[in-house]
Structure 1
């Protein structure tokens, strides 16, 4: 029988996301029911780096200026914002919001033209520290700015939230903030207040002795008119927040879990900044990604055929299935230049005796990828199939490197999660043992020499050092493990590795932006 190529050919167009479906092995016995791991890989095109070809961006920087940010921190933040100004062009817009006990809009979304840069620069330099940390107020104000846009909306819009401490003013719990993010203008609360007000305004009617109806006068007179609240105009109040939120936590005093959950709720990532020197690098990493966004609102749908069913489906977000697990659909957020997203899927394949002793190739899935192409500003669809050889030629049963690499990623995620649970219970040695077992498995895998896999091993070593004792875990280890876990789930860089260490998922655009900042 001739050699069978089991990889579906990817779509090879320059400005489109490529879709590749790959089974784990070269063949599967036709007369045996069997499980089959499949990798569904999405690869973003490479952004060429020309400002006239990239999409415009709307950035809202929300800066913690509480007293703990005094000194070098706030100066580095201002210096970094000045760098952001140099990288944006006239088609981009920047907004600056600062928060302490209260929230202040320093300047609204403004096109970064050559004429405006000097004024914006002066306003950035005017920021000074004071007060406490109304983190939720600052975040909601940033989201409101994105939602309030009317004309000339940029397709790429993001809130960059920076803090070095704990939320201690306004809504301060993670659950409360996440709930507030679903209604940034707090419209539901306003409606409840209006309903209560209307009830109070209702006239109370009581019957008189003569059977007539009289009105009971209230003892206290209300003010004739209340000051009218500013109306929110030109906003679709049913519109969901479609921008992203990136969070940056400095030092050891911030709530890493809260910042991770905030970013995850809005399709962003959390950056852990352990030293002041990494503030500019983290910003540059984020900015390099945002300025090279190529696809948004990505959705992947898998429809199985020929009796196959789904037994496991591993993606960055929870998928939806039909009743008999023969189809699945999952949202995958956005893709930046060169980035990849992988969905690892385990199928159960039935016996296919109809193919005969020699077997053949069966297509087990129709895969549809839909997304908004930021470069061309149109919705696009990419389709692919999943041909699987149901043969028995005695070929070596060697795992496909693409799937082995993704299994290593899943193994790393599981180890980080389990080790964190142990460390949270004070069982640091048990957590370190789990990381060591994972490292040894990955180090013996067939993809151990690949850059991404080496980055996983470096991350595990870093976590291992961060769980030496309670002091190390509190000051560094906990934030770092949350940071690394999200990075591997999202397949996106969000940490500045130490010299000589590999940072997984870093793209050329991000590396180039960090080089500019240096």
Structure 2
């Protein structure tokens, strides 16, 4: 055998030498032509030969030595079958057979499309005889059972978007956002100068129609980053069910990728559209998950971000859902780095080594100077399971990326928590929402804006301001307090008693998520009266402004109590919460029976209960508080503790104040599937919105 191999090798040497001589001759000829000033265009045949030589050289130097999928050796005689593709690149047969089982016919190295793909025959002879296939190593239209995709050097092996775009129905396209602008009081004495006069500025997104279809909304690119470490062993079945619920509720234009992490991270499913085999393959990949190893949250996030950053095509909406039940065991010092929510977000000098491990797309502080415009902003919605997860880390990641943090106290509520999140993501109706505010009278200046985590800017010496809201879900509302200074009126004696003063003008612009059309809403003006004497009507407080002041005050009190709890002074924390509850209940809006005030009272009560002892606070109180602060900061619903949105019809007391109809309907659907009430899920109206309801 060795003798035969030597003879074959000897016979090939002259041919290889001839090729090399031809190459030298062509090179010499080309050099002489250049020297004589003659430049000739290469003929098609020469281009083809050159391309073949490059491919031949690359194959021999790279792909013939190493499998591009597992990066293992491709030496013959090691007991592994080797597959050679039409493009001359080589892979382990098992590696490439698994890789193409999801319908991927693209070479991971040169990106050329294959006509023939490897087919791995069934294990037994009986199975093979029952399969209507030939005894060939290739089969064009065969769809084998799915297995998780092995990692490749090219992470963006995505399925292209649909070539045909279905235009949104006229009834769901380019509907303007509704603006509200309300002063706290309808009048201010003409002789008074007010330094901080609150004005409520709010936006309300248009609704989704009941008959809306997947083709009439903005499709999403979603990456699920899942913790499959050893501690997830007892929770993996419920995690699989929850992720499959997401997959089954996506439309044919939505794309999903799945990344898992334990001690390391792997992308087990590429970005594919959720139609037909795409959904089936994604579910198969999820069902094949197994647990084991440590917890490397940072590596999982990096891998998930790469999937979105390296997309060749992009759906309008992109997001990451991160799920973990523990601390990052491979990146040390996470516990000592997180002290309180204020330090996490508002102090730029606070040293957070762990956050510097995260990509700039989800942690803007890691963006290199001058690269801000090119940075992709990817919101990460985080979900912490049980009492052992790192609530500080999960909250910080979501807060810095623009996502939300949900605390899932019992794993039974996992699917409902996912349902709430996906109900929002599948109902985005507006993007790049920006509020523009302008002073309309001399001496009226914008002093401050309370906008939570939404960026605001005041310029032109307080004459103008902007609030960047970002995206809005259908029926979602955001409200902000703008404080302005009002000068004393300088009326002449002969002027009318009831002068009017224009304070502000508010305009909103946004991009429609389905048509990408820029939409501007109708301008709203804030006008007050400046009488010499106030009437009883002039002294009436606007309930919407009052309830918003209550919401902000409660959020501030909870944040203050949380800082005290971190220091171990729980009695002070309890005193702060108790005092705020008294203030809340004595407010005008609470006295009027406002639903939001009732919800805020319940939140204060439960927060106090979870701060009763240091052990209870560390077990669930910290996570509950941080999830609540995340919800208040973004005015967006999160799942907290053991509670989820109840089915409609049970009253507002159990409804999350920021829930939208799409969220409620999706959670209702989840609860029905979980064996809850047999009520059919339907599109419902908000039971407790930011619009006041009172007795």
TM-score, normalised to structure 1, is 0.83
In the TM superposition, what is the alpha-carbon distance from 1:376 to its structure 2 partner? 2.9
In the TM superposition, what is the alpha-carbon distance from 1:296 to its structure 2 partner? 1.8
* Equivalent position of 1:364 in the other structure: 503
| C-alpha distance in structure 1 between counterparts of 2:383 and 2:428, whole Å | 20
Greater strand share, 1 or 2? 1
**2:515 matched to 1:376?**
yes
Structure 2: which 5+ residue stretches go unaligned?
Answer: 1-172, 338-351, 647-652, 672-695
Q: Select the residue among 567, 575, 598 that pairs with 1:425.
A: 567
* Equivalent position of 1:183 in the other structure: 360
Q: Select the residue among 614, 624, 627 that pairs with 1:483.
A: 627
| C-alpha distance in structure 2 between counterparts of 1:283 and 1:185, whole Å | 20
* Equivalent position of 1:57 in the other structure: 220
* Equivalent position of 2:262 in the other structure: 100
Which of 1 and 2 has higher RCO (CA within 8 Å, sep 6+)?
1
Matches within 5 A, 1:268-283: 268-283=403-418
In the TM superposition, what is the alpha-carbon distance from 1:350 to its structure 2 partner? 0.8
* Equivalent position of 1:166 in the other structure: 327
Tell me the SS of whatever aligns to 1:122: helix
Matches within 5 A, 1:286-297: 286-297=421-432
| C-alpha distance in structure 2 between counterparts of 1:258 and 1:298, whole Å | 28
In the TM superposition, what is the alpha-carbon distance from 1:353 to its structure 2 partner? 2.0
In the TM superposition, what is the alpha-carbon distance from 1:393 to its structure 2 partner? 4.8
| C-alpha distance in structure 1 between counterparts of 2:598 and 2:631, whole Å | 15
Q: Select the residue among 80, 91, 99 that pairs with 2:242.
A: 80
| C-alpha distance in structure 2 between counterparts of 1:148 and 1:108, whole Å | 12
> Who wins on radius of gyration, i.e. which is larger?
2
**2:618 matched to 1:474?**
yes
Contact 1:97 1:103 in 2 (8 A): yes
Note the alpha carbon deviations across 1:58-111, whole angstroms, 9 max, x for none: 11000011101111x211111011111110111111110000111101111100
Q: Which moved more, 1:367-376 or 1:406-415?
A: 367-376
Tell me the SS of whatever aligns to 1:149: coil
Q: Aligned in 2, Cα 1:502/1:89: closer, same or farther, shift over 3 Å?
A: closer
| C-alpha distance in structure 1 between counterparts of 2:288 and 2:359, whole Å | 32
* Equivalent position of 1:250 in the other structure: 385
Structure 1: which 5+ residue stretches go unaligned?
Answer: 1-12, 192-235
In the TM superposition, what is the alpha-carbon distance from 1:429 to its structure 2 partner? 2.0
**2:545 matched to 1:403?**
yes
In the TM superposition, what is the alpha-carbon distance from 1:31 to its structure 2 partner? 2.6
In the TM superposition, what is the alpha-carbon distance from 1:133 to its structure 2 partner? 1.0
In the TM superposition, what is the alpha-carbon distance from 1:183 to its structure 2 partner? 3.3
* Equivalent position of 2:129 in the other structure: none
| C-alpha distance in structure 2 between counterparts of 1:167 and 1:96, whole Å | 19
Q: Aligned in 2, Cα 1:177/1:91: closer, same or farther, shift over 3 Å?
A: farther
* Equivalent position of 1:224 in the other structure: none
| C-alpha distance in structure 1 between counterparts of 2:626 and 2:175, whole Å | 34
Q: Aligned in 2, Cα 1:419/1:93: closer, same or farther, shift over 3 Å?
A: same
* Equivalent position of 1:33 in the other structure: 193
| C-alpha distance in structure 2 between counterparts of 1:176 and 1:16, whole Å | 43
* Equivalent position of 2:448 in the other structure: 312
| C-alpha distance in structure 1 between counterparts of 2:372 and 2:487, whole Å | 49
Q: Aligned in 2, Cα 1:454/1:486: closer, same or farther, shift over 3 Å?
A: same
| C-alpha distance in structure 1 between counterparts of 2:305 and 2:320, whole Å | 7
Note the alpha carbon deviations across 1:330-362, whole angstroms, 9 max, x for none: 222221111111110111111222373513222
In the TM superposition, what is the alpha-carbon distance from 1:313 to its structure 2 partner? 1.4
* Equivalent position of 1:140 in the other structure: 302
In the TM superposition, what is the alpha-carbon distance from 1:46 to its structure 2 partner? 1.1
Q: Which moved more, 1:293-302 or 1:387-396?
A: 387-396
| C-alpha distance in structure 2 between counterparts of 1:172 and 1:113, whole Å | 43
In the TM superposition, what is the alpha-carbon distance from 1:318 to its structure 2 partner? 4.3
In the TM superposition, what is the alpha-carbon distance from 1:488 to its structure 2 partner? 1.5
| C-alpha distance in structure 2 between counterparts of 1:451 and 1:57, whole Å | 33
Q: Select the residue among 651, 656, 668 that pairs with 1:515.
A: 668
* Equivalent position of 2:100 in the other structure: none
Query: What is the aligned-residue RMSD (CA, Å)?
Result: 2.4
| C-alpha distance in structure 2 between counterparts of 1:302 and 1:395, whole Å | 30
In the TM superposition, what is the alpha-carbon distance from 1:181 to its structure 2 partner? 3.8
Contact 2:174 2:517 in 1 (8 A): no
* Equivalent position of 1:348 in the other structure: 485
| C-alpha distance in structure 1 between counterparts of 2:469 and 2:332, whole Å | 29
Q: Select the residue among 177, 182, 196 that pairs with 1:17.
A: 177
In the TM superposition, what is the alpha-carbon distance from 1:139 to its structure 2 partner? 0.8
In the TM superposition, what is the alpha-carbon distance from 1:22 to its structure 2 partner? 0.6
**2:283 matched to 1:121?**
yes
In the TM superposition, what is the alpha-carbon distance from 1:246 to its structure 2 partner? 0.3
Aligned length: 458
| C-alpha distance in structure 2 between counterparts of 1:480 and 1:144, whole Å | 31
Q: Aligned in 2, Cα 1:387/1:453: closer, same or farther, shift over 3 Å?
A: same
In the TM superposition, what is the alpha-carbon distance from 1:180 to its structure 2 partner? 4.1
In the TM superposition, what is the alpha-carbon distance from 1:170 to its structure 2 partner? 4.4
TM-score, normalised to structure 2, is 0.63
Q: Select the residue among 302, 318, 327 that pairs with 2:464.
A: 327
Contact 1:247 1:262 in 2 (8 A): yes
Q: Aligned in 2, Cα 1:241/1:180: closer, same or farther, shift over 3 Å?
A: farther
Q: Aligned in 2, Cα 1:247/1:185: closer, same or farther, shift over 3 Å?
A: closer
Note the alpha carbon deviations across 1:280-318, whole angstroms, 9 max, x for none: 111000000101111222222222131101233100234
Q: Aligned in 2, Cα 1:126/1:172: closer, same or farther, shift over 3 Å?
A: farther
* Equivalent position of 1:89 in the other structure: 251
Tell me the SS of whatever aligns to 1:343: strand
* Equivalent position of 2:230 in the other structure: 67
Q: Aligned in 2, Cα 1:437/1:184: closer, same or farther, shift over 3 Å?
A: closer
* Equivalent position of 1:3 in the other structure: none
Note the alpha carbon deviations across 1:21-74, whole angstroms, 9 max, x for none: 110112112232124210001111111252232111111000011101111x21
| C-alpha distance in structure 2 between counterparts of 1:341 and 1:411, whole Å | 16
Q: Aligned in 2, Cα 1:293/1:172: closer, same or farther, shift over 3 Å?
A: farther
Q: Select the residue among 526, 536, 548 that pairs with 1:386.
A: 526
Tell me the SS of whatever aligns to 2:402: coil
Q: Aligned in 2, Cα 1:341/1:434: closer, same or farther, shift over 3 Å?
A: same
Tell me the SS of whatever aligns to 2:589: coil
* Equivalent position of 2:64 in the other structure: none
